[in-house]
């Protein structure tokens, strides 16, 4: 009985300490921005992409990453080859060639096309008015993603306008996200 209570207590502690990203759909993120302006982050993934799954299972569940994203961004998890409908900037984006029976790669969603997403996973950052700031392509560890999250959230990206400025920013950046 004592072992059972200890195991139960341990599981409860893990659950309480676990931080998860509060994902919303794109339209909800836009509505939330209108109510309370905040930047937006859209995580583009594909079901077949091993790197998408890896980033979702490692980086995006990191407690520091999740806490920071929840505090500074509205987060959208978007299947870049799915069949959802997205209304953005007075245009309706769909995936008319989507095939639910297709195994592996499907057709890319027009929303991902419009944002020039060519790699999965990719994150596209939007400002408080839902204008695109920048995409970040490829798998990132929590420590690799941290610099982008903080640069966008603090508006430092507005000062990083050259390759040299980016190098200086990286050289001077002091990250503090944990490994797990």
pLDDT tens by residue, 87-141:
999 999 999 999 888 888 999 999 999 999 999 999 999 999 999 999 999 999 9
- Cα four-point dihedral sign 77, 78, 84, 88: positive
Residue 88's DSSP bridge partners are 91
Distance CA 36, CA 32 (A): 6
Tens of pLDDT along 27-65? Answer: 999 999 999 999 999 999 999 999 999 999 999 999 999
Cis peptide leading into residue 121 (ω within 30°): yes
Given this model, what pLDDT does residue 104 score?
86
Given this model, what pLDDT does residue 178 score?
84
The full set of domains in the chain, from first to last, is 19-140 (3.40.30.10)
Determine how β-strand 23-24 pairs with β-strand 73-79.
parallel
Query: Quick check: 18 pLDDT over 80?
Result: no
Entry pTM: 0.87
Give the range among 15-19, 55-59, 148-152, 157-161 with minimum mean pLDDT: 15-19
Q: Which helix (H) or strand (E) holds 4?
A: helix 2-17
């Amino acid at each position: 009985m004592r072992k059972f209570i200890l195991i139960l207590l341990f599981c409860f502690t893990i659950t309480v300490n676990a931080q998860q990203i509060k994902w919303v759909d794109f339209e909800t993120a836009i509505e939330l921005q209108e109510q309370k302006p905040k930047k937006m982050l859209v995580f583009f993934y594909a079901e077949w992409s091993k790197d998408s799954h890896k980033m979702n299972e490692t980086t995006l569940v990191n407690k520091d990453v999740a806490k920071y994203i929840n505090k500074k961004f509205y987060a959208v998890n978007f299947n870049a080859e799915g069949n959802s409908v997205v209304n953005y900037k007075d245009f309706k984006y769909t995936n008319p060639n989507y095939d639910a029976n297709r195994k592996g790669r499907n057709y890319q969603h027009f929303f991902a096309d419009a944002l020039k997403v060519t790699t999965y996973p990719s994150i596209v950052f939007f400002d408080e008015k839902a204008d695109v700031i920048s995409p970040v392509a490829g798998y990132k560890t929590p420590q690799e993603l941290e610099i982008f999250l903080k640069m966008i959230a603090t508006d430092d990206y507005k000062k990083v306008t050259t390759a040299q400025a980016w190098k200086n920013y990286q050289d001077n950046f002091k990250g503090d996200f944990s490994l797990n």
